[in-house]
Each structure stands twice: as structure tokens, then as C-alpha cells.
């Protein structure tokens, strides 16, 4: 199985988001297939943190591709993103849903829910199941021993507008494995 390195994220965030479907995300004893992502552009995208947060713009300017961008959404859920720096656009890839494959008992214990299909079927659910919090922000997780991404395949990729946002939601930058019961909606 081929590891995905930071060079994977030296491309347009939309390309990265699409090509991550089917990859396996490893995180400290757990692993899950990426089944849903969304892309965000660092410039001109009203739904991206960089549009209204100077700290997010500094993060993009000061970090290399493949760096984890983790933030607390509405003071409730941690959300996991990866920074992408393409030649024509930088931005983020949000992990929206995962299909658990290893460490499932640990994920169930963290979430307190035994239903496998709903363990990681949303961006806040997947960080809770994997134990991801703000301490992962800014990490070079692709270079660490117990974290990373491995290339994989998807049965078929569906494309649609981003969800769970109020601005720029019409952009077709949400990707998911068609027919997979683990996607968020």
C-alpha cells in the first residue's frame, strides 16, 4: 500500500478532495476509508475560514501542503482539514465522512454509539471517533509514525454541492463514494 505524502497536496484542493475518496486515513491505532470530502479555496471562497479569519490566512501562508488544519466548529465539534497548495490555488480539504476499518471498538467507546454506519458519518463524528482534537492543528501528520494516509480505491465517486454551510454552497466541491452507507447525508 502506497503512503500519501505532502506532495499529494501540492495540487488544487478540488483535485485533492476528489482523489482522496477511497484512501485510508490512519490515526493512532484506528484506520478508516475516506468516503466523503469537501474542498475549500483560500481565496475568494466565502465559506472558507480564510475569507473572514486572518489567522487562517496566516496558516495558509506559513505552512506547507499536507499540514493538518483542525478547528473547533461552533464550540462543539473538532473538524479535520488538510492544507493544499496548488500552482493556481491553495485551500483545504475537509474530511466529511469515513468508513471505519480498524480500531472500531475504540471508536465505539469514544463515541458511545455501536452503529458502525454512523460512527464517522460526519466531520464532527469522525474526529470524536478517532480522538482528534485541537492538539492536531498544525501537525505534519503525513510524516508521523502512527498517522497518515494510504492510497485506496473508490467504487464510484459522486459530485455535488457542499453541505452544512450557508455561503458558496452551490460549488460542486463535495465528493463521496456513491452508495456508501457511511457518508454524512
Residue 171 pLDDT class (50, 70, 90 cuts):
confident
Does residue 47 have a pLDDT over 70?
A: no
Q: What is the pTM of this model?
A: 0.94
Q: Dump pLDDT digits (tens) for 80-131.
A: 999 999 999 989 999 999 999 999 999 999 998 778 889 999 999 999 999 9
**Torsion from C-alpha of 102, 107, 108, 112, nearest 10 degrees:** -170
Topology, domain 3-177? 3-methyladenine DNA Glycosylase; Chain A (3.10.300)
Q: What is the mean pLDDT of the chain?
A: 91
Question: Domain map of the chain by residue range?
Answer: 3-177
Residue 170 pLDDT class (50, 70, 90 cuts):
confident
The span from the CA of 117 to the CA of 119, in Å, is: 6
Percent of the chain's residues with pLDDT above 70: 95
Query: Angle at the Cα of 47 (from 49 to 158), degrees rounded to 5?
Result: 120
> Within its chain, how far is the Cα of 77 from the centroid?
14
What residues contact 15, with CB distance under 8 A and at least 6 apart? Answer: 86
- Comparison of pLDDT for 172 and 175, the residue scoring more: 175
Q: Dump pLDDT digits (tens) for 56-71.
A: 788 878 899 999 999 9
Burial of 104 by CB count in 10 Å (0-12 exposed, 13-18 middle, 19+ buried)? middle
Amino acid at each position: 500500500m502506497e503512503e500519501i505524502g505532502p506532495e499529494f497536496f501540492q495540487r488544487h484542493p478540488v483535485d485533492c478532495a476528489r482523489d482522496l475518496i477511497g484512501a485510508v486515513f490512519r490515526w493512532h491505532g484506528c484506520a478508516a476509508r475516506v468516503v466523503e470530502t469537501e474542498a475549500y479555496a483560500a481565496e475568494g471562497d466565502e465559506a472558507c475560514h480564510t475569507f473572514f479569519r486572518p489567522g487562517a490566512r496566516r496558516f495558509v501562508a506559513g505552512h506547507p501542503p499536507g499540514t493538518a488544519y483542525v478547528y473547533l466548529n461552533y464550540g462543539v465539534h473538532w473538524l479535520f482539514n488538510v492544507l493544499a497548495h496548488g500552482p493556481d490555488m491553495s485551500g483545504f480539504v475537509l474530511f466529511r465522512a469515513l468508513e471505519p476499518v480498524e480500531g472500531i471498538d475504540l471508536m465505539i467507546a469514544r463515541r458511545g454509539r455501536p452503529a458502525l454506519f454512523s460512527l464517522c458519518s460526519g466531520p464532527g463524528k469522525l474526529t470524536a471517533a478517532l480522538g482528534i482534537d485541537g492538539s492536531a492543528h498544525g501537525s505534519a501528520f503525513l510524516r508521523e509514525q502512527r498517522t497518515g494516509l494510504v492510497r485506496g480505491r473508490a467504487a464510484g465517486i459522486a459530485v455535488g454541492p457542499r453541505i452544512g454551510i450557508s455561503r458558496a454552497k452551490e460549488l460542486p466541491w463535495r465528493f463521496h463514494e456513491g452508495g456508501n452507507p457511511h457518508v454524512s447525508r
